[in-house]
Structure 1
Amino acid sequence: MDEMTEVFTIPAWLEVTIRSVCIIIGLFVITKLLGKKQLSKLSFFEYVAGITIGDIAGTLSMDAELQLSSGIISILIWSLVPFIISFFSIRSKKFQEFIEGKPTVFIKEGKVMEGNLRKEKFTAEELLSQLRKSRVFQLSDIEYALLEPCGNLSYLLKREKQPLTYGDLHQYVPSFREPKSVVIDGEIMDEPLISIGLNRGWLLEELEKKGLSSKEVFLAQIDSNGEMKIDLYNDK
Structure 2
Amino acid sequence: MALIFFIIIVVGLFYYRNRNNPRFRNLFILVSLSGALVIAIQTGQTVQVLKKIADQKHVSVDDVYASSNALNDGMTVQIGKKYYVVNFNNDQSNYNLKETQLVNPPKHVNKAQFNFGFGGTDSNGVDYGSIALKFIVGLIMVVLQINLSGKGNLAPSNALDQLQNYILGGIIGGIIYNSQITVLQFVVILLIWSVIVFTIKFLTGQSNSINKLINGTPQVLILDGKVNVTRALNTGVNANELAFKLRTDGVSNFRDVKNATLEQNGQLTVTTFKDQAINYPIIADGQINKLVMERAGITEPQLVEMLKKQHTIIPDVYLAQLNNGKLNVVKYPMKSRILRKFKR
Q: Pick which of 50-59 and 121-130 moved more.
A: 50-59
Unaligned regions of 5+ residues in structure 1, if any?
Answer: 164-236
The 1-side partners of 2:271 and 2:120 are apart by: 62
The 1-side partners of 2:213 and 2:232 are apart by: 20
The 2-side partners of 1:70 and 1:99 are apart by: 29
Q: Within the alignment, does 1:118 sit opposite 2:233 as a pair?
A: yes
Contact 1:107 1:146 in 2 (8 A): yes
Q: Within the alignment, does 1:33 sit opposite 2:139 as a pair?
A: no
Q: Within the alignment, does 1:49 sit opposite 2:164 as a pair?
A: yes
The residue aligned with 1:180 is none
Q: Within the alignment, does 1:10 sit opposite 2:158 as a pair?
A: no
Corresponding residue pairs, total: 156
**Residues 167-182 of structure 1 aligned to structure 2 (within 5 Å):** none
| Partner of residue 146 from structure 1, selected from 248, 261, 267 | 261
The 2-side partners of 1:148 and 1:104 are apart by: 7
The 2-side partners of 1:41 and 1:50 are apart by: 8
Q: Within the alignment, does 1:106 sit opposite 2:216 as a pair?
A: no
**Residues 158-173 of structure 1 aligned to structure 2 (within 5 Å):** 158=273, 161-162=274-275
In structure 2, relative to structure 1, the CA distance for the partners of 1:38 and 1:93 (3 Å cut) is farther
Secondary structure of 1:65's counterpart equals coil
Cα deviations by residue, 1:191-215 (Å, 9 ceiling, x for unpaired): xxxxxxxxxxxxxxxxxxxxxxxxx
The 1-side partners of 2:199 and 2:151 are apart by: 15
Name the % identity: 24
1:112 CA drift (Å): 0.9
Contact 2:215 2:264 in 1 (8 A): yes
In structure 2, relative to structure 1, the CA distance for the partners of 1:120 and 1:16 (3 Å cut) is same
User: How large is the Cα RMSD of the aligned pairs?
Assistant: 2.5
TM (normalized to structure 2)? 0.41
Contact 1:45 1:81 in 2 (8 A): no
The 2-side partners of 1:118 and 1:65 are apart by: 46
The residue aligned with 1:72 is 187
The 2-side partners of 1:112 and 1:99 are apart by: 26
1:54 CA drift (Å): 1.6
Secondary structure of 2:222's counterpart equals strand
Alignment-mate amino acid for residue 55 of structure 1: G
The 1-side partners of 2:266 and 2:172 are apart by: 28
Q: Within the alignment, does 1:63 sit opposite 2:63 as a pair?
A: no
In structure 2, relative to structure 1, the CA distance for the partners of 1:155 and 1:100 (3 Å cut) is same
The residue aligned with 1:22 is 137
The 2-side partners of 1:24 and 1:152 are apart by: 28
The 2-side partners of 1:37 and 1:15 are apart by: 29
The 2-side partners of 1:96 and 1:143 are apart by: 27
The 2-side partners of 1:79 and 1:120 are apart by: 29
Unaligned regions of 5+ residues in structure 2, if any?
Answer: 1-59, 63-117, 122-126, 277-344
Contact 2:205 2:211 in 1 (8 A): yes
In structure 2, relative to structure 1, the CA distance for the partners of 1:37 and 1:100 (3 Å cut) is farther
In structure 2, relative to structure 1, the CA distance for the partners of 1:152 and 1:99 (3 Å cut) is same
In structure 2, relative to structure 1, the CA distance for the partners of 1:26 and 1:143 (3 Å cut) is closer
1:9 CA drift (Å): 5.1
1:24 CA drift (Å): 2.0
The 1-side partners of 2:161 and 2:275 are apart by: 36
The residue aligned with 2:242 is 127
1:34 CA drift (Å): 2.3
Alignment-mate amino acid for residue 140 of structure 1: R
Secondary structure of 1:62's counterpart equals coil
Alignment-mate amino acid for residue 185 of structure 2: S
The 1-side partners of 2:267 and 2:161 are apart by: 17
Contact 2:224 2:255 in 1 (8 A): no
Alignment-mate amino acid for residue 65 of structure 1: Q
